[in-house]
Amino acid sequence: MGKDTRKVDIKAFRFNAETDYLPYTKTYTMEVGKDELILDLMNRIKWEHDGSFSYRRSCRHGICGACGIKVNGKPVLACKQNAMELLDLFNNELVFEPQSKKRAVKDMIIDKKDFWDKHAAVKPYIVADVEPHPTSETKQSIEEFNALLDADLCIQCGSCHYACPALQVNEDYLGPAALAAAFRFTADTRDEASQERLEITFETGVGVWDCVKCYECAEACPKDLNPIEKITKLHNMQFEQGVARSNIATRHAEGFVRSIRKHGFLDEADIVVYSEGYLGMYKHLKTAIKMLKAGKIHWQDGVPFIDNMPKIKNLDEVQKLIDISMTNKL
């Protein structure tokens, strides 16, 4: 029996925006059973220790997405997450925090306005001109449905959104949840707003090009939906459907092909010049000089940047593979 329960100190973030000037931490000690969920422990804080402890919960089945919090920095859905698992992971310590401390309203409850605003911004619904009184269903084939991947299963819990470091720095960025929603409806064959959605998500500072590729969203999602996979698909669709215009980010992406065709390797200096354009290079002059001084930029023929790169063996294979495999145009 001893192994089935563990005495644990739970440190919980406490804050009431109406009465408290600063948040504080309170510790609750309890015996935790092997089958208890994080939601059970929050209930016990409320029922056994302090009735004012506040958190969102509703379905208790991992569907409504209300009970997302962070435990020791790890985003979890409280009603799905076994407590013992986390005790093993975090050396018998549990710290309960809201998904975003700066958005805390009361304890675990946050104001998710930014999340919903961004969700709404990508038109997360099918835009189609349908008969008001249709006589038949709008059917999809299995292939058409499969093209949505698993993006339709998102429960809008906010776990990925509040785990995204790019969003924490740049409040204009749409973030992984909204972008995954944009993919879901853009990939839907019944939808007629895909161009518009691709334009919205193309904008630099806002859309897909601001993803830092840290995979925090993939790790955070309690439904294992891998939001960044959908962000990559959106990137691809922007090129496929001709929405991508020449800018620093798109030149950076397709510049890889140009470079690999030439050397097999990425030409690190060339990709910066190609992405920025010669005029844009002034921003990088100081860095380039520092890198030159440290011997980081090669110039075998006495000239940096131009045709001085090592080439891989059997480069002709790579060139041929690019020619026969490329699905998007430069």
Partner 1 sequence: MSTLKYALFTGCTAKQSTPELLSSTLAVADKLGIEITILEEASCCGASHLQDFDEFLAHVLNARNICYAEKLGMTMITICNTCQLNSAMTKHALDSDPKLKARVNEKLAEVGLEYKGTSEVKHFLYCLIDEYGLDKIKEKVVTPLSQFNIAPFYGCHNIRPSELHHSSNGGENPYVPTSLDELIDALEGNPVDYDHKNKCCGFHVELQANHTSEVLAGNAMLDAIDNDADMMVTPCPLCHLKLDTYQDDVSKVMGRDVELPVLHMPQMVALALGATEKELGLNFHVQKATQFNPA
Round to whole Å and give the CA distance between 315 and 204.
34
Find the binder of partner 1 among 33, 242, 277, 310 (CB under 8 A): 310
Closest distance between partner 1 and the C-beta of residue 247, in Å? 8
Segment contacting partner 1 by CB under 8 A, of 99-107, 147-155, 182-190, 292-300: 292-300
Q: How far is the CB of 256 from partner 1 (least distance, A)?
A: 4
Phi-psi region of 226 (alpha: psi -120 to 50; beta: other; left: phi over 0): left
**Do 129 and 138 meet the contact criterion of CB atoms below 8 Å apart?**
no
In terms of CB distance, is 25 or 58 closer to partner 1?
Answer: 25
Q: Minimum distance from CB of 94 to partner 1 (Å)?
A: 13
- Scan residues 2-61 and list those touching partner 1 (CB under 8 A): none
Residue 287 in the binding site for partner 1 (CB under 8 A)? yes
Measured distance CA(188)–CA(233) in Å, rounded: 13
By beta-carbon proximity to partner 1, the closer residue of 295 and 302 is 295
Is residue 233 left, alpha or beta, with left meaning phi > 0 and alpha meaning psi from -120 to 50?
A: alpha
Identify which of residues 51 and 73 has a Cβ nearer to partner 1 in the complex. 73
Please say which residue, 37 or 244, places its beta carbon nearer to partner 1. 244
Q: Measured between alpha carbons, how far is 79 from 66 in angstroms, rounded to an integer?
A: 9
Q: Could you tell me the maximum CA-CA distance found in the chain, to the nearest angstrom?
A: 76
Size of the site for partner 1 (CB under 8 A): 75
Q: What is the DSSP letter of 57?
A: -
Examine residue 256 and tell whether it contacts partner 1 (CB under 8 A). Answer: yes
Minimal distance in Å, beta carbon 59 to partner 1? 25
Select 101 or 296, whichever has its Cβ closest to partner 1. 296
CB of 136 to partner 1, least distance (A): 32
The DSSP secondary-structure symbol of 226 reads -
Which of 268, 281, 304, 305: binder of partner 1 (CB under 8 A)? 268
One of 51, 73, 132, 302 touching partner 1 (CB under 8 A) = 73
Residue 139 contacts partner 1 per CB under 8 A: no
Q: Which is nearer to partner 1, 105 or 256 (CB)?
A: 256
Binding positions for partner 1, 178-217, rule CB under 8 A: 204-205, 208-216
Shortest distance, position 238 Cβ to partner 1, whole Å = 9
Structure tokens given for 248: 């620093």
Contact call for residue 239 and partner 1 (CB under 8 A): yes
Report d(CA 37, CA 71) in Å as an integer.
Answer: 12
- Nearer to partner 1 among residue 42 and residue 76 (C-beta): 76
What is the rounded distance in angstroms from the CA atom of residue 158 to the CA atom of residue 110? 11
223 binds partner 1 (CB under 8 A): no
Question: Is 82 one of the binding residues for partner 1 (CB under 8 A)?
Answer: no
* 279 three-state secondary structure: helix
Beta strands 24-33 and 5-14: pairing type?
antiparallel
- Report if residue 141 touches partner 1, rule: CB under 8 A: no
Which member of 60, 191, 276, 304 binds partner 1 (CB under 8 A)?
276
Q: Find the angle CA(291)-CA(297)-CA(302) to the nearest 5 degrees.
A: 125
Query: Which among 152, 160, 155, 150 has a CA at the least distance from the CA of 220?
Result: 160
Strand partners, 109: 106
Distance from C-alpha of 18 to C-alpha of 22, rounded to nearest angstrom:
11
Q: Tell me which residue of 17, 70, 74, 20 sits closest to 42, measured CA to CA.
A: 70
